[in-house]
Every structure is written in structure tokens, then in C-alpha cells.
Structure 1
Amino acid sequence: MSTLLSNGISALTSFQRALSTISHNVANANTPGYSRQVLDLSARAGQAYGFGFIGAGVQVDSVRRVTDLFNFARSLDSAAELGRLGELAALAGRVDKLVSDQGTGLTGPWSKFFDAGQGVSTQPTSTAARQNLLAAGEALAARFRSLDAQFKGMESELNGKLRAGVDDANRLSAEIARLNQEIVRQRGLAGGQPPNDLLDQRERLIGELSARLGVNTVLQDDGALNVFTPSGQAMVVGTTSLRLGTVADPFSPDRLELAIETPHGRVLLNDGAIGGALGGLLEFRRDVLDPAAAQLGRMAATLAHSFNAQHRAGVDLYGQPGGDFFTPIVPTTAGHTLNAGSAALSASLSDIAGYRGEDVVLAFDGTGWSATERTTGRAVPLGGSGTAGDPLVFNGVSVVVSGTAAPGDRFLVRPAIGAAGQLSIAVKDPARIAAASPLRASADLANVGNMSVQSLTVEDAGILDFNASHTIVFTGPNSYTIDGVGPHAYDPDAGIAQGGWRLKLEGTPVAGDSFRIAPRGAGSSDNGNARLFAVLDGRGQLDGGNLSLNGALGQLTTSVGSAARHAEYARDAQQIIDTQVRAEREAVSGVNLDEEAANLVRYQQAYQAAAQMIGTADTLFQTLLAAVRR
């Protein structure tokens, strides 16, 4: 009878706890991150009698969560990847709209500017055509400056996002460390039994942290969960959390980087050291924003440099040599914050064909300079010594060093980023547009041969004497003199070159035939130079002369658009994967109300049966007492 009573009591107590667990599951069916809990029941050890063992009832071993550790690890990876791709796709899409939209992109102003150049070529003396070219040039320069300002604004916005993300990550890691402490304490008080609801809270917070920076976890024997960044830097160790922080770039104080504050000092995290939303921000800056800004600046600098060079090769309506059409663009330089010397750098574009646009770090080792690409660390071929007469030369850029550099000093040269913000029109007077060729060539009317002028071009306006006249006299079919100096051998393919100009002729000369080269006067209606700068956009200039400005514009829109589409497709695919991971978790750990309802009925009936057992034991006991009384 005592066995019957004790069995009933154990069953009643166990089923009561089972019903409480079921009610807890039902109450938290819609709680984010909640894992379904179940009771682990086992039979108590039976009591031995001569004829065998009589059972001693049931006991509750534990209340455990129904979880899948592999699914938890997958959910962390999925959250990190979705956070990374979400930021990358959103920001890359904004850059794509900026450069491709008709209202903000370059295509419209670009076409109008070179169309206006064609207008000057068609009507070189027209004030309206010239004014239209200036207006179109200013509109194009303004669009370059606007895009550059937008990119700088996105850089500032990215800094703000980094600060906010770091604050969130620090808050979450501190809360995870606090939960670790509480979980260890409660496990100790409960004899090693798991505090399930705290474990759910901790996993939810770790999932949120992973969405921000990507994490890996390692479980300790005492129940604490250590959290690490993808590169292995500890964020939470036991009950201690380490803090993330932002530090200024040593070359650019307005550019933030991420670092983690360890007991041994601050450790800088490179772009690949973290994932999640913060990793997506850094990846966007490295792979989309910086390349787009560099390509934009490269186009602006190439346009200004090449258009100015061609403009200087002509003469304006006043008969004066053309000056710069655009204000010259100067690459920016910045010294490292730890530099000890007094050196300063000044940079200029020297070779458009070799102009690349990547950021380059120049380092001084005490005896000489070396150059490396900032993003990749690859060595860059470097020439020169850094003096004004022998500047440092790399990637189409010349650098002059003033002052004295100390060993270990480093400088960042940015040939392209920020260049678009410098673009503006230097010419204000329409008559100052140098549409005419500076020289004209003519054959003497007394010439006997059939030779005629094919072309006269300016190859180097820097050494050209715009006011000089020259007389070329052929001494035979294969020789000539210039201003009485010679004879010189005549090469029909190479033509005749001197003092920055080149004259090409066609036909066969006779001894005594002469040609005259003379400067053009004021008010010339010639359009020789305008014909050249009007088609400058289609001339191969970049990448060793293999890429035109039109091609560079196409590369800008295509590369940004491709990056945006790729990020968008990857984000959408990851969203599907994340949904699948969540569904798998719900299938294992989620609360199924139908199942809980069935369990509720089952344990309710078991509870009632246990109560009936206790009632039966009581009846037997009362019967026994009644028998004794008689």
C-alpha cells in the first residue's frame, strides 16, 4: 500500500511538472528565439523482494530544450552573411542609381559637352556656339563635383553606420557576458541543470551579434559560451566582454577603421576580419565606393589634362595661344600620423597613358623610396629620386619631395579619389576658346611639282613658337631645307617636324618647290583645333592608349551596376537560405500548438490516473484501519 501511495505521489508530481512545462511552451509559442522544452522522465530504482523487484514510481531527471547545435551554428553563419549582403546590396544600389540615372549621372552632360565642341568645330567664330561650349563644360564639371560630393557624403554616412554598429555590438557582447555569468551561477545552484530560458536569451543575442559582425562560438565546461570574430579575435570570454572601437585612418582622419580593445592593447581589424553588417560596410567601401570614386576622379583628371593639352595647342579669336580650359587637377597627398621627418610631397599628372588611379603608399627607408598599392600591398614600379629635376614617377604621376624624410616615414598618394571635386572651367571669355590651329601651311604658287599640304599638326605646344614663320624649300625629291638650314633627308611617311609641329605632304616635289608655315592672326575662322578637342572623348588615352574616355565612362557605369546586381542577387539567395535555416530550427525547436495540446490531454489523463492511484491507496488504508477497529 505504501508503494502504491509513493508511486502515485511521484507520478502526480512528475505529471504536474510536465503540465507546467507544456503551459510554458504554449505561453511562449510566439516568443522570438524560444526553444521548446520537454521533461526527461525515468523510472525510480525498484525495491527487491524475494520474488523480484517492485517499482518505486517515476522521477524527473531534467527539463531540457529541444535544440540542434548544428542548426545554431548555421543560423549564426546565415545571419552574418545576410547582414553583410544586406548592407552591401543597399549601398551599392544607391551608387548604381547615382552614376546611371539621367538626372544624376554623367552620360547626359558628357554628351552635351562634346556635342557643344562639335558645334564650335562647325561654327568656330560663333559667339553662341562658344558660349554653349562653356555652359556645357561648366554643367559637366558641376556634375563631376556633385557625384564626388555624393561619394564623400556616403563615406561620412558609412562612418556613422560604423559607430552605431560598434555601439550595438558592444551592448550585445556585454549582455552576453552578463548572461554567461548568470547561467554559470544558476547551473551551480541547480546542480548542473540548464537554465533553459537564459540559454534561449543568450542564443538570441548571439544571433543578433552575428548579424552585425559575424561570430563563432565555443562552449565552456561551466556552461559559458565564448564568442569570437571570424578572424579569431575574442569578443566574449566567459564573463568578460571585449569592446570594439573605431580609430581614425593614419593617413585620413575622416576615415574610420575598426579595432578591438584587448588586455594587451588595441588590435586593428582589417576588412576581412569581420562579417555581418559591419563587414558589409567595409566591403562596400573597399570594393564599390572607393573604386567608383577613383574611376570618377580618373575620368575627371584625364578629361582636364587631355582637353587642356589639346586646347593649349590652338589659338583663340584674339590670336593668342590657348590656355587651360579646365583648372588643372592635382593628386592629393597625406603623411602618416607617426611620421617623424619634415618631408612634404607635391604630386602632378605626367603621363595619362600610364595613369591608373590606385592609391599608392610611398615609404622612405633612410636611403630610398618604395611604392606599394594601398589595398593589395603589391609593389609598384618607381623611378626617380624625388627632386624637382628628377621626381618620383609611378603610374603616370610625378612626385616632388620637399623637406627631409625620416626613416620609416610613409605618405599616401591619391591620384584619383577626390579629383572630380576639383574640376571646374578656367575659361570665362568665349573668345578665349582656342578653336583654330596656331599655324597654317601653304604651297608657293610657283611650285612645279604636284606636292600639296596634307596636314599640319601641333605635337608639343610647350615648345611651339606661335609667332614664328618658316620656309621649307626642297632641294630635290628626297631633301629639303628649313629657313635655309639643311639639307635634311625627306621621309614622306614621317613628314617634316620641327619646334613642336609636324607637316605632312603628299605628292612628289621638284627641286625649288617651297612651302611656307606662318602663324594665324586674330579672328581666324579656322577650326583645326576644335575638330581635335571635339572628338577627344573617343581617342584612346588611358591604359597605354587602349581606353578612351567614352570607354572609361562605360566602365564606370558597368562596374558599379555589375557590383550592385551581384550583391542584390546574392542577398536574395541568402534570404532564401536564411528562411530555410529558420524553418529547420522551427521544425526542431519551435512550439507546435497541436502537439502541445495533445501532450496536455495525455498528461492531464495521466495526472488524473495518478490522483486515482492516491485515492485507491487512501481507500485501502481506510479499509485497513476499519478492520483493525473491529
Structure 2
Amino acid sequence: MANVLSTGSGALIAFQRALATVSHNVANVATEGYSRQRVELATRHPTDMGYGWVGNGVQVADVRRIADDLATSRLLDSGGELSRLQQLSAMASRVDSLMSDKATGLSGVWSNFFDATTGLSSNASSSAARQEVLADARALTNRFNQLNSQLDSLGNEVNSGLRASAEEVNRLGAEIARLNGEISSNPNNVSNDLLDQRDRLVSELVGHTGGTAVAQKDGALNVFTAGGQALVVGNTSSKLTTITDPFQPERLQLALDANGQQIRLNESSLGGKIGGLMDFRSDVLDPAQAELGRIAVGLAETFNQQHRAGMDLNGQMGTDFFSLPAPRATGHAANTGTGTLTASVGDLSKLDAQNVVLKFDGTAWSATRADTGAAVPLTGTGTAADPLTIGGVELVVGGTPAGGDRFLLQPTAGAAGGIKVAIDDPNRIAAATPVKAQTDIGNIGNGKVSGIKVTDPTNANLLTPADIEFIDGTQYTVNGAGPYTYTPGQPIAANGWSLTLDGVPSAGDNFRVGSTGAGSSDNGNALLLSNLDDAKALNSGTVSLNGAIGGLTTMVGSSARQADYAADAQKILHDQAQSARDAISGVNIDEEAANLIRFQQAYQAAAQVISTADSMFQSLISAVSR
């Protein structure tokens, strides 16, 4: 009778625990990261009655957390990569919108400027046309400045994101380390909910840094970044901190404080949200800003060169139409010498937007790409007469660099932010060809000037009057100098200009070349200026400025689309990993409902056993009391 009561009460308690566990599962069906729990029942040790072993009922052996380490690890990996790609996609899409939108992009104001220049070529003396050219030029340079400013703002957002993420990583790491301490101090008696809480924190941490978690024998979880750097080991967490870039103080990098040592982390060391921010900066933002600057340099250099070859309404040779900052060359914070590098654009057709690191070993200079470390060809000694030449940029070394000193060359990174219109007087627009040629009315041949152009605007004698006199049909003199051989169809050149003749000149024929002079309506240089957008000035003469703008838009758009596609694909993989985890650890309402009914019935049956034992006891009492 006592055995019946004990067996019944034990079963009642066991099924009560089972019902409580089922209720706990149902209550947490929507809790993120919750792992369902299951009561493991086992028979009590039987009693030897002499004639055999008699069972003593049931007991709760364990409340088991249903989890699979492989499924959890796969979910961590996919979650970190999804966070990285979603961050990269979101930021890249913003640059794409900035460059491709008509209201914020470059192509609209670019077209307006060259349309205005074409309009000037139709009426070179028009004040209105000249004012329009200046107005559209200012609008174009303002757009360059605005785009560069927006890209700078995105760079600042990356800095803010790195700071915020570093703080969150440190908070999560400290909490995981604390939980590791609690769990490892008593690994055989750990709350399942505590393990779930730690897994959720690890998932959040990996979402920021990428990486994985590795279990120790004592139950603690060690968390590592995507690059293998330890964030949490046992009950100790490392501290993630931001530091300034040694070449660019305005840019933040990340470092790991571990055991009193600071380890600088590169882009490949981190995944997750932080990795997405750093990938965006290195793979999308920096190339876009550098290419935007290269287009600004290409516009300024080509337009200025042609503008200097023209003459303005005041009768003066043209000056620079645009002003532009020089390429940046900044020293490393750890440099010990006094050396400086002064950079200027040498050959526009070879200008490369890639950032380059130059290093001085004490006797010679070498150059490598800043992003890959690949060697870059470098010539020259660094003097003013023989500057260092790399990718279309010339550098003159000043001061005394020490062995090991390094410099970062950014050929075009800041150009778009500094381009300006250098003139404010519309009369100073050099629309005219500075020299003109006239055919003497007394000529007896049929030779006529078909065109004249400036070949060297710096020639000191460019505007000096020149008389071309033909001795016969094959020889001529210039201001009495000569004779020179004349080949029909070939140009006649002198003093920085050249002209061509149609027809055949005769002996004694004269042609005069002189300054165009002030107030001219000549449009020769304006015509050349208006076609510069199609001039193949970049990539060794294979890419025009228009082509470069299209290439920039395509480059940014392609990066944004690829990031978006990759994020969508990773989302599918992550959902699959989540489904695989939930199939093992997730709460199934139908299953829990069935368990609820089953354990409820078992609980009622156990209660009936106790009731039967009570009846037996009452019968015994009644029999004995008679």
C-alpha cells in the first residue's frame, strides 16, 4: 500500500514537471533563439522483495535542451555573412542612388556645361552666351563638390558605425564572458535558458564581427572573429577599439586590445556588420571617390590646356579656366625623417586613381598598391629635374626622409572636392583662336588658308606678326627666313602655330599671320572646347571624359547590384540554416499540444493511483478498528 502511494506520488510529481516543461515551451514559441526542452523520464530503482524485484515508479532524470552544435554553428556562420552583405548592400545602394539620380548625379550638369560651350561657339562675342558658360561651369563644379561631400559624409558614417559597433561588441563580449564564468563553474547543473541566452548573445556578436564559436570542455564558448582573432576566451573578453589611420587621421580603423597589446585589424579580419562597413569603404566608397576625382582632374586638365591655347575678348591669352588641388601625398604617422612629397599631375593619359604607398629604404624609393600590396613601376630620383613618376603623377622630394619612411599617394581622392571655376569675368573666356591668317589680295595663285591652329600656346613669338612669302610653288619664307620646302597639303608651322592651304600658291604670293586681337567674334577655340567631353584623354588615350562618367556610374551600379544579389542569396541560405536549426530546436505547437494532452492524462492517472492507495488505506483502517 505504501509502495502504491509512493509510486503514485512520484508519478504525479514527474508528470507535473513534464507539464511545466511543455508549458514553458509553448510560452516561448515566439522567443528568438529559444531551444525547446524535453523532460527525460526514467524508472526508479526497484525493490528486492525476496520473491522478485518490484518497481517503484518513475522519476525525472533530466530536463534536456534540444540543440545541435552543427546546426547552431552553421546558423552563426550564415548570420555573420548575411549581416556583412546586408550592410554592404545598403551602403552601396546609397552611392548608386547618388551617382545615378538625375537630381544628384553628374551627367545632367555635365551636359549643360558642354551644351553652353557649344552655344558659345555659335556666337563667341555674345555676353549672354559667355555668362551661361560661367554659370553652368559653376553648377558643374558645385556638383563635383557636393558629390564629394556626400561621399565624405558616407565615410564619416562608416567611422560612426565602427565606433558604435566596437562599443556593442565590447558589451556583448563582456556579457558572454560573464555567462561563461557561471556556466563553467558548474557545468553539470546549468540552466537551459542560460545556455539559450548565451547563444543569443554570441549570435549578436557574430552579427557584428563575423566568425564562429568553439566550445571548451568546461562548457564555456570561445568566440573568434572571421580572421581568427579571439574576442572571448573562457571568462575573459578582449576589447575592440577604434584608432586613427596612420596615413589619414580622419579615417578610423579597428584594433584589438588583448593582454595589454593592441593588434591592428585589417579588412579581412572582420566580417558581420563591421566587415560590411569596411568592405564598403574599401571596395565601393574609395574607388568611387577616386574615380570621381579622376574625372574632375581630366576635365580641368584638358579644358585648361585648351583654354590656355585661346584668346579672350580682352585680346589676352587664355588662363586656367578651372582650379584644382594637387594630388595628396601624406606621410605615415610613424615617419622619423623630415621628408615631404610634393605631387603634381604629369601625364593625364596615364593618371591612375589607385592609391599607392611609397617607401624609402634609405637609398631608393619603391611603390606598392595600397589595397593589394602589388609592386607599382616607379621612375625618377625625386629631384625637380628628375621627379619620381608613378601613374601619371610626378613627385618632388623635399626635406630628408629617413630609411623606412612611408607616404600615401592619393592621385585623385580629393580633386572633386576642390575643383573650382578660376575666372569670374565672362570676357576672359578664351573662345577665339589667338592668331589669324589672311591671304594677300594681290596673290595670283589659287592658294587659300583653310585653317590655322595653335600648337604651342607658350611660344613667346606666338602673337608676333609673320609674313609667309612663296618663292615658287614649292618654297616659301617666313619673315624672310628660309626658304622652306612646301608640300601641298602639309601644314606650314612657325612660332607655335600651324596653318594649311587649299589650292596651289604661286611665286610671290603672300599670307600674313598675326594676333586675333581684342573684341574678336572668332570661335575657333570655343569649337575645340565644346568637343573636349569626347576627347580620349584618359587610359592612355582610349577613354573619353564622357566614357569615364558612364564608367563611374556603371562601376558603382554594378557594385551595388552584386552586393544586393549576394545579400539576397545569403538570405536564402540563412533561412535554410534557420529552418534546419528550428527543425531540431524550435517549438512545434502541434507536438507540444499532443504532449500536453498525454502528460495531462498521465497526471490524472497518477492522481487516481494515489486515490486508490488512499481507499486501500481507509479500508485497512476500517478493518483494524472493528
Q: Please classify the TM superposition score into its range, dividing by the shorter chain length.
A: over 0.9
Structure 1 residue 112 corresponds to structure 2 residue 140:
no
CA distance in 1, matches of 2:43, 2:422: 94
Residues 211-220 or 612-621, more deviating: 612-621
The answer to whether 1:240 aligns with 2:236 is yes
Structure 1 residues 55 and 512, CA gap change in structure 2 (3 angstroms): farther
For 1:535, the aligned partner's letter is N
When structure 1 is superposed on structure 2, of 471-480 and 103-112 the one drifting more is 471-480
Q: Give, in angstroms, the shift of residue 267 of structure 1.
A: 1.1
Residue from 547, 562, 569 that aligns with 1:566: 562
- Between the aligned partners of 2:282 and 2:607, the Cα distance in structure 1 is 70
Counterpart in 2 of 1:611?
A: 607
Confirm or deny that 1:360 pairs with 2:356: yes
Q: 1:365 to 1:506 in 2, by over 3 A?
A: farther
* Cα distance between partner residues in 2 of 1:425 and 1:17: 81
Which whole-Å deviations, capped at 9, do the CAs of 1:80-121 have from their partners, x for residues lacking one? 122212222222222122222222211221111111111111
Q: Distance in 2 between matches of 1:48 and 1:358?
A: 86
Q: Quick check: 1:586 aligned with 2:582?
A: yes
| Residues 186/494 of structure 1: CA separation in 2 closer, same or farther (3 Å cut) | farther
CA distance in 1, matches of 2:165, 2:487: 70
Q: Give the superposition deviation at 1:40.
A: 1.5
Q: Note the C-alpha offset of 1:581.
A: 3.3
Question: 1:43 is aligned with what amino acid?
Answer: T
Instruction: Provide the rounded CA distance (Å) in 1 between the counterparts of 2:122 and 2:382.
Output: 46
- Provide the secondary structure at the position in 2 that maps to 1:333: strand
- Larger deviation, residues 502-511 vs 137-146: 502-511
Alignment of 1:388 with 2:384, yes or no, is: yes
Identify the residue that residue 216 of structure 2 maps to in structure 1.
220
Return the letter of the residue paired with 1:558: T
Task: Please point out which of 501, 507, 513 is paired with 1:505.
Answer: 501
Alignment of 1:40-439 (within 5 A): 40-47=40-47, 53-187=53-187, 192-263=188-259, 265-439=261-435
Contact (CA 8 Å) 1:304, 1:329: kept in 2 or not? Answer: no
Which residue type is aligned with residue 380 of structure 1? Answer: V
Q: CA deviation at 1:388?
A: 1.1
SS of residue in 1 equivalent to 2:396: strand
Whether the 8 Å contact between 1:436 and 1:530 is mirrored in structure 2 is yes
Note the C-alpha offset of 1:628.
6.8
Going from structure 1 to structure 2, the CA distance change for 1:557 and 1:492 (only over 3 Å counts) comes to: farther
Q: What residue identity is the alignment partner of 1:568?
A: D
Does the alignment pair 1:29 with 2:25?
Answer: no
SS of the residue aligned with 1:157? helix
Give the letter for the 2:451 counterpart. Answer: S
How big is the shift at 1:374? Answer: 0.9
Q: Secondary structure at the match of 1:416?
A: coil
Per-residue Cα deviation, 1:225-277 (whole angstroms, up to 9, x for no partner): 10000110000000001011111000111100111111261111111211111
| Paired AA for residue 214 in structure 2 | V
2:379 partner SS = coil
- Tell me the C-alpha RMSD between the 2 structures: 2.3
Give 1:8 deviation, angstroms. 3.0
Matched to 1:245, the amino acid is: T
**Inter-partner Cα distance in structure 1 for 2:248 and 2:125:** 48
Q: Give the counterpart letter for 2:18 in structure 1.
A: A
Partner of 2:462: 466
Deviates further, 113-122 or 591-600 = 591-600
Q: Describe the SS at the equivalent of 2:111.
A: helix
* CA offset digits 1:548-583 (Å, max 9, x no partner): 111111112221122222223333333344334334
Task: In structure 2, give the amino acid aligned to 1:241.
Answer: S
Shift in CA distance, 101/518, structure 1 to aligned 2, threshold 3 Å: same
- Higher deviation after alignment, 374-383 or 617-626: 617-626
Q: For residues 5 and 489 of structure 1, what CA distance do their matches in structure 2 show?
A: 131
The answer as to whether partners of 2:324 and 2:415 remain within 8 angstroms in 1 is no
| More displaced stretch, 66-75 vs 613-622 | 613-622
Shift of 1:622: 5.8
Deviation at 1:493, TM superposition (A): 6.5
Residue 529 (structure 2) aligns with: 533
Q: Which runs of 5+ in 1 are unaligned?
A: none
CA contact (8 A) 2:489 2:502 kept: no
Local SS of the residue matching 1:547 = coil
The CA distance in 2 between the partners of 1:378 and 1:483, in whole Å, is: 57
Q: Give the secondary structure class of the aligned counterpart of 2:520.
A: coil
How many residues in Structure 1 have an aligned counterpart in Structure 2?
Answer: 626
**Same amino acid, percent of matched pairs:** 53
How big is each residue's C-alpha offset from its partner over 1:498-540, in whole Å with a ceiling of 9 and x where there is no partner? 4432333344455554433222121111111010001110111
**1:499–1:396 Cα change, 3 Å:** farther
Q: Is the 2:315–2:518 contact (alpha carbons within 8 Å) kept by the matching residues of 1?
A: yes
Give the Cα separation in 2 of the matches to 1:409 and 1:500: 44
SS at match of 1:542: coil
Give the distance between the partners of 2:274 and 2:561, measured in 1 at CA. 20
Instruction: Look up the equivalent residue of 1:167 and give its one-letter code.
Output: E
**Following superposition of structure 1 onto structure 2, how do residues 455-494 of structure 1 map, counting pairs within 5 Å?**
455-463=451-459, 465-475=461-471, 478-490=474-486
Cα distance 1:492–1:232, how it changes in 2: closer, same or farther (>3 A)?
farther
In structure 2, do the counterparts of structure 1 residues 20 and 186 end up closer, same or farther at CA, with 3 Å as the change threshold?
farther
- Residues 307-360 of structure 1 show CA distances to partners (whole Å, capped at 9, x for unaligned) of 111000011111111111111331122111011111112111111111112111
- Give the counterpart letter for 1:552 in structure 2: A
Change (3 A) 1:382 1:475: farther
In 1, Cα distance between the equivalents of 2:260 and 2:446?
A: 87
1:279 Cα deviation from its structure 2 partner: 0.9
Q: 2 CA distance for matches of 1:368 and 1:479?
A: 54
Q: CA shift at 1:487, angstroms?
A: 3.8
Q: Evaluate the alpha carbon distance shift between residue 406 and residue 204 of structure 1 in structure 2; reply closer, same or farther with a 3 A threshold.
A: same
Task: Name the structure 2 match of 1:10.
Answer: 10
**Kept in 2: contact 1:464–1:501 (CA 8 A):** no
Greater CA deviation, 240-249 or 320-329? 320-329
In 2, Cα distance between equivalents of 1:146 and 1:531: 29
Moved more, 113-122 or 580-589: 580-589
Structure 1 residues 496 and 379: alpha-carbon distance in aligned structure 2, compared to 1, 3 A threshold: farther
Which amino acid in 2 is paired with 1:142? N
Q: What runs of 5+ residues in structure 2 fail to find an aligned partner? A: none
The structural deviation recorded for 1:402 is 1.0
Aligned-partner SS, 1:455: strand
TM-score (norm 2): 0.94
Deviation at 1:21, TM superposition (A): 1.3
Distance 2:492 2:256 in 1: 67
Distance 1:103 1:528 in 2: 33
The CA distance in 1 between the partners of 2:487 and 2:360, in whole Å, is 48
CA pair 620-200 structure 1, distance change in 2 beyond 3 A: same
Instruction: Please give the secondary structure, in 1, of the residue aligned with 2:322.
Output: coil
Between the aligned partners of 1:108 and 1:605, the Cα distance in structure 2 is: 77
Separation of aligned partners in 2, 1:15 and 1:577: 40
